[in-house]
Structure 1
């Protein structure tokens, strides 16, 4: 009994359940409520410290529904921390998208079968689709070497509605009669539709403008469904003021006029000088232009200055042998305007890009003692390619028909090589430069 008395349980360790049962009902109720409150408090504290967002108390706030991001209060969006929390997402009112002009895809039109152009003097053409110009100018102003008249004419040739097609008697190309445009800078009402093989006419026009010669007529490339199976074809401006008779000169008469320097400084030549009405500077511009493109039809119609090939059109019976009588060879395609006999108009500019540097026609430069300063400055500046690319890019149909940038670069490569040959020839033969913007 002593051992049990020594180690008996003290009265202060009576089980709590026994003490709780001995308390009256009000005390038991208060005790139960206090225990529940303490349990809920420590449970919430434990959840708070277990949450990964408790360290960002400066930006987040614990709420009964989870953690509220204070930076998103304006958007009224709560991010819950527990998966079993139910919350409401406010959806903004869905607005109907605005119908912006130009963004709606047009309906596809059914293609209309077109018939070939019959052989008649005049044929009406009904265009079911509205004309769209392929001339693209993304800047406020066009390149400085193109005038407002050039740009307006190009747009008219590329996109004006065609009213009818005429076949002038004896003309190799059909004449397109356009609907009158309201562009003040454009007066083009007709155009000649050339063959697709004459696409070099487009390149020649831009080369003429880049060099500052301004002697060719505006020309663009256009797809005509009723001609050439819709292939891109050059369309050149038709002017009624062109003198079809042209300038009649033999080779010896031409060389003699070069020595006389006809009409320079507005000096009237003597009657015995043999001068024509053409200004002396016109021959220099013509020679430079024809050499770069190797156009031999005007100054060397019988191909006496190079070894002709089959595609050069000089191998007709007996023609090439006429070079032995070269002084009697008559020049061709010398066109002027009736009201402006002093200046030439360069038409039929069919050049050749496949003629090698070792077979160039130097007869085109014979007798030339001076060249236009504006053109040589472009050739010497090293910016010929840049300007030609910028200019040719305007004609989207021609640009794409040549294979885009790679195809255009190949054509410019040929012109740049010939330009180097020309500059070397001019330095070696003492050919000077003159300001010919008279």
Structure 2
């Protein structure tokens, strides 16, 4: 029979009383161990340093950069986070909202996870950067329809590109979700994202979340270099004349392919967000502050002569020339209520029924929160529901003002046609 260890080493077997004392001491030590951190399924090992306190979420405000974070000393290029490890990726997998199509979700995944493989500055657009993205696990040669960059945006004809904008333009992400919740479906998919690609300048990889907007490859632009942000040239007076009820528009007239219902969708959307750049870039519908671009660029003075006023960012896609595309949707979330621009609604006699029904339902804020929760980067960076609620309350308040405007002016609604 094999000997016990203490017999081989000459040790005496421990007494039963000693064994009991040892067990009691062990149990006492276990009782006094510190508890694991709250809400943690995997407590940190004892050697791990405590996590730093989370920085307060910066307010989401259009036209103003978010609070700058002090970047850590950079010892080398920041690496992209490994696929599947980012908290923001939890949302787009199964918690989708019914107003987001499968195509929306696919583009949102590309924008939020795609690997940056090339970049290009967008002329005359400051800090805007166009990037080509490849899905996780996709190689450059796997992209169907991949073309060379011989022409501007040529490498983006397969729909795998996005525009990275300024941190202060994060409101465009909220605008995208508002567009989908209301059933307008005219804005381009947008997400918030932090970048760490070696290809991007440090200002794009400093840790601040930026909006990334899907690049539509078939947007129709005028060949006029001074007016290339339009698909058709339209002045304010022409626009108002075109909106007159039962007025027939000649086929060769500017923007004749765009029906009245499209302008109604645009007016409703721009009023809720207070986007002036499309229908009232001269700020003729309110008294602007001296710091407004329309004042600094001396555009406001043209309000005296309506014949000089033109519409901007009136765009359609070649694949759908009768449907407007809403771009540059970073309106004015903090625009004061006493200065709301009702000129955006001028000439509009009816509005889309489904959108108006959503505004009347009293559920606009809850629907937006449900939708915005899918964008984990935006959600976390802005403090979740608590941080986003003040902005949503402003939009909801504007919605009630718009409903009152519809009632006071006996305006009607029209049934939305299938997309």
Equivalent residue number for residue 244 of structure 1: 221
1: CA distance, partners of 2:373 / 2:245: 41
The TM-score with structure 1 as length reference comes to 0.67
Q: Which moved more, 1:229-238 or 1:242-251?
A: 242-251
Shift of 1:310: 4.0
Equivalent residue number for residue 102 of structure 2: 148
Equivalent residue number for residue 256 of structure 1: 241
Does 2:279 match 1:299? Answer: yes
- Match of residue 206, structure 1, among 136, 161, 177: 177
Unaligned runs of 5+ in 2: 1-16, 24-40, 49-72, 139-143, 145-157, 197-201, 223-230
Contact residue 293 and residue 353 of structure 1 kept, 8 A? yes
- State how many pairs are aligned: 323
Equivalent residue number for residue 217 of structure 1: 188
Shift of 1:104: 11
Q: CA RMSD in A?
A: 3.2
Equivalent residue number for residue 5 of structure 2: none
Distance 1:200 1:114, change over 3 A: farther
- Match of residue 191, structure 1, among 162, 171, 178: 162
Distance 1:227 1:164, change over 3 A: farther
Give matches, 1:271-286, under 5 Å. 271=251, 276-286=256-266
Shift of 1:308: 0.8
The TM-score with structure 2 as length reference comes to 0.70
Does 2:97 match 1:178? Answer: no
- Match of residue 348, structure 1, among 303, 311, 328: 328
Shift of 1:112: 7.5
Contact residue 218 and residue 237 of structure 1 kept, 8 A? yes
Equivalent residue number for residue 230 of structure 1: 207
Aligned to 2:402, what secondary structure does the other structure show? helix
Give the structure with higher Rg (CA): 1
Shift of 1:136: 2.9
The superposition leaves residues 246-276 of structure 1 with CA deviations (integer Å, 9 ceiling, x where unpaired) of: 22100010011111557xxxxx854587762
2: CA distance, partners of 1:273 / 1:171: 30
Contact residue 260 and residue 275 of structure 1 kept, 8 A? no
Contact residue 92 and residue 105 of structure 2 kept, 8 A? no
Contact residue 352 and residue 413 of structure 2 kept, 8 A? yes
- Match of residue 118, structure 2, among 161, 164, 179: 164
Shift of 1:181: 5.4
Give matches, 1:59-98, under 5 Å. none
Shift of 1:361: 0.2
1: CA distance, partners of 2:297 / 2:178: 34
Shift of 1:182: 7.4
Does 2:113 match 1:136? Answer: no
2: CA distance, partners of 1:380 / 1:284: 17
1: CA distance, partners of 2:328 / 2:379: 21
1: CA distance, partners of 2:110 / 2:93: 19
Does 2:394 match 1:414? Answer: yes
- Higher relative contact order structure (alpha carbons within 8 Å, sequence separation ≥ 6): 2
Contact residue 220 and residue 317 of structure 2 kept, 8 A? yes
Contact residue 251 and residue 327 of structure 1 kept, 8 A? yes
Give matches, 1:307-318, under 5 Å. 307-316=287-296, 318=298
Unaligned runs of 5+ in 1: 1-82, 90-101, 116-125, 263-267
Equivalent residue number for residue 364 of structure 2: 384
